[in-house]
């Protein structure tokens, strides 16, 4: 049993010592220009907590530099509803709002939810109960559990599942839904975890969960019923770009051991599997990233040379397809041997076939980019074509690594055969 009692270590997890009259739960609602939805949201949440939550609570509206009437609405709600307060921030960023409110709160359990209340509020008590009892350190709602009931469009469903696949493949995450705006954390955990989280925007949730999981903290998942808000103001492309940057930054920090996760260690109650598995994950991921980047750089040079050669006598689409096909075959072969350490001819044909599927995705991205460029201008310059293709290939490269690692060359854990048992 681990007996780490260093000053920075978390105390042993235990049921909360409740203080009569003081809030047990502080629910934060980050908002930006939500003058229309804020009032109905807070009133509905306040009524639900008053009726179902057995302890004192607080609702905090965190205004992220709104430019409409949101601050006035928040102030009005705080003046007429007991246990409601509003805080104004002069800079945008959901992560920034949560960090500021959680850091200053005196409630032992801290939570947040989106203002659209897409998540059924009946999941709120199951979310925070394991934190109050001392069972868990953090809790998240998940829309990807089999028992969850979710209503949303195919595009958002694909984006959500693809993002969580990315986290599992690149950061070895085991939690199922990083993006659901329905989470809670114990205050003593937040006090030690928040200083390690750099992001101030939408990636804040993911970074928080990854660091907590890597430190061996317990994350409780609650299946939720969730209905998509068609009027959501989230900018999908910008958010996805920032998330990819965050994944790369956190993955690199974990790979080189730059994060002092020992500050979050508990004397006992952590997951013993983390202590034996994570060092291998981090070193393996670092080696694979370096190998993949080296192979990718050489493949990109090969692709551009081939494209320029083919482009001299053919159209851009054929030149792109031919150059991408040849460089993809070479890329798969090089990554198979150098990045993922697969040798011999076993499954070589299968790996190349899977690599061609990945190539197809890259072709769709780059061809779509060329088509968009052609629609924008009738006769684009050759340098412009190359710039567009380089940008599209960067996006395809990230996806290629994830698919290679999770699907084409997944880690194999073969169990050795006991010769004596086999003879028997």
* SS3 annotation, 95-157: HHHHHHHHHHCCCCEEEEECCCCCECHHHHHHHHHHHHHCCCCEEEEECCCCCCEEECCHHHH
Rg (C-alpha) for the chain, rounded Å, is 25
| Burial of 312 per CB tally in 10 Å (0-12, 13-18, 19+) | exposed
Task: Extract the tokens encoding 314.
Answer: 């053919």
Length of the chain, please?
A: 424
Answer yes or no: 116 catalytic: no
User: What is the distance between the terminal CA atoms of the chain, rounded to a whole angstrom?
Assistant: 38
Q: How many other β-carbons are positioned within 10 Å of the β-carbon of residue 411?
A: 11
Integer Cα distance of 243 and 228 in angstroms = 20
Instruction: Give the residue from 58, 71, 83, 59 showing the smallest Cα distance to 32.
Output: 71
Determine which one of 63, 137, 205, 270 is catalytic: 205
Integer Cα distance of 148 and 157 in angstroms = 13
* Catalytic site positions: 205
């Amino acid at each position: 049993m681990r007996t780490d009692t260093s000053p920075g270590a978390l105390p042993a997890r235990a049921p909360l010592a409740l203080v009569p009259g003081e809030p047990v739960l502080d629910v934060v609602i980050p908002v930006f220009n939500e003058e229309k939805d804020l009032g109905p949201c807070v009133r509905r949440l306040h009524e639900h907590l008053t009726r179902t939550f057995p302890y004192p609570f607080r609702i905090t509206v965190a205004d992220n530099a709104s430019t409409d009437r949101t601050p006035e609405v928040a102030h009005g709600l705080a003046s007429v509803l007991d246990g409601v307060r509003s805080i104004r921030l002069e800079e945008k960023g959901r992560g920034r709002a949560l960090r500021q409110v959680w850091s200053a709160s005196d409630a032992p359990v801290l939570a947040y939810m989106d203002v659209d209340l897409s998540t059924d509020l009946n999941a709120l008590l199951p979310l925070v109960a394991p934190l109050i009892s001392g069972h868990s350190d953090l809790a998240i709602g998940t829309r990807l559990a089999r028992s969850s009931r979710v209503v949303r469009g195919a595009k958002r469903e694909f984006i959500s599942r693809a993002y969580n696949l990315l986290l599992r493949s690149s950061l070895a995450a085991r939690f199922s839904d990083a993006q659901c705006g329905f989470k809670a954390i114990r205050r003593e955990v937040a006090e030690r975890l928040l200083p390690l989280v750099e992001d101030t925007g939408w990636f804040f949730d993911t970074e928080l969960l990854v660091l907590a999981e890597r430190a061996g903290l317990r994350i409780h998942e609650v299946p939720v019923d969730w209905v998509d808000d068609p009027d959501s103001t989230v900018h999908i492309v910008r958010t996805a770009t920032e998330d990819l940057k965050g994944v790369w930054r956190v993955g690199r920090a974990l790979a080189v051991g730059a994060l002092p996760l020992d500050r979050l260690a508990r004397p006992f109650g952590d997951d013993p599997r983390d202590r034996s598995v994570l060092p291998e994950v981090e070193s393996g991921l670092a080696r694979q990233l370096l190998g993949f980047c080296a192979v990718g750089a050489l493949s990109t040079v090969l692709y551009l040379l081939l494209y320029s050669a083919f482009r001299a006598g053919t159209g851009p689409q054929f030149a792109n397809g031919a150059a991408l096909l040849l460089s993809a075959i070479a890329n798969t072969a090089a990554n198979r041997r150098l990045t993922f350490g697969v040798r011999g001819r076993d499954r070589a044909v299968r790996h190349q076939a899977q690599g061609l599927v990945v190539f197809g995705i890259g072709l769709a991205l780059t061809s779509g980019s060329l088509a968009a460029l052609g629609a924008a201008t009738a006769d684009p310059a050759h340098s412009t074509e190359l710039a567009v293709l380089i940008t599209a290939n960067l996006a395809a490269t990230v996806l290629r690594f994830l698919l290679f690692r999770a699907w084409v060359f997944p880690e194999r854990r073969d169990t050795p055969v006991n010769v004596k048992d086999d003879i028997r």
